[in-house]
Structure 1
């Protein structure tokens, strides 16, 4: 199997270069310049090492993507709980943490379809195991706990991906979110001129920032997903 998680690591690693060091530098590169900038040659230059040295630790760019995805998944929080009365609050903490990770590392949204066997990585395995414990404590059986987790994560990733795309566009504009949205509004008004329902959509209140609007919209959808799951636990 072609995967970073199924290949044996070299017995000896160069003192100044390790897989962990390579992955940490790759995450910094991705955060600063995006997925388009990631190449073994570019990363080797940042590390002061040739691409050949990197290949001793990471076979190719696909393996590197598996590794960096698992690395940022290590930032996700799943509270410890064995109290079924608090499963929902813990699920919200976890969902918020997944979304925050995506928004800190917007490049991750563009590689979800390229992650290969990343689910074998230690951070992803830990996340899945802790979430299973959380949903089983809530009262779901093992099979439905897995389905419930997949449903919540699908919602969070879908919403987070849209947000990450928007924030990436804002960042490329060189302006803050509010100013960029204000400049974009005339184009939105023109595009929706022939669509009465779109024209009548309420605009965000001036008292709330766009970040607050995004937070509110995210929480609305998450609450509706959890409402549906809670019904499965009803007597």
Structure 2
């Protein structure tokens, strides 16, 4: 006799990875918006018990936060080039993600508690690059806000 692991058995014996849950959640968010991204709808699309999603992500905010971190994980400044080129590269990489997934950006706007760790990292990288250009810490922070707001506005306008 084999020992069964803790927790609920998968629906119909199907196991699922957190990445496959995130992938389907992003499809729902992109196609139908935040209001349609429910744990039940996601579970039906993935073919699992909704409790499996709660096991991996705790709650809807945890799912959205993980989704944002997953999407923004590869957004980074180029390693080579001067500060201007690296700053531009970082903003263009972020812009591209916002254009691809505008509903995710809007979900973060309406639910500040889901602000992803990678967004914090991107913000810190922007501040650092602006400091490399000789801006004071106060001006670097101000210009970071301006550039992020501009990037959001431009990307969301293109996506619309």
Please tell me the TM-score bracket, short chain as reference. 0.7 to 0.9
Larger Rg: 1
Task: Kindly provide the CA deviation profile for residues 84-134 of structure 1, in whole angstroms up to 9, marking residues without a partner as x.
Answer: xx322222222222221111113224323223233452x223322322321
Q: How does 1:131-150 map to 2 (within 5 A)?
A: 131-150=126-145
Aligned length: 150
Give the TM-score of the pair, scaled to structure 1.
0.54
8 Å CA contact 2:108, 2:115 repeated in 1 = no
CA distance in 2, matches of 1:116, 1:58: 17
Give the structure, 1 or 2, with the largest relative contact order (CA under 8 Å, sep 6 or more): 2
Residues 1:164 and 2:150 are matched in the alignment: no
- Kindly state the Cα deviation for residue 68 of structure 1 after the two structures are TM-superposed: 1.7
Task: Kindly provide the CA deviation profile for residues 14-37 of structure 1, in whole angstroms up to 9, marking residues without a partner as x.
Answer: 893454442233123323444343
Runs of at least 5 residues in structure 1 that lack an aligned partner in the other structure:
1-10, 166-235
Q: How does 1:83-232 map to 2 (within 5 A)?
A: 86-119=82-115, 121=117, 123-165=118-160
**CA RMSD after TM alignment:** 2.8
**Partner SS, residue 112 of structure 2:** coil
Give the TM-score of the pair, scaled to structure 2.
0.75
CA distance in 2, matches of 1:108, 1:139: 33
Runs of at least 5 residues in structure 2 that lack an aligned partner in the other structure:
1-5
8 Å CA contact 1:65, 1:115 repeated in 2 = no
- Corresponding residue for 2:3? none
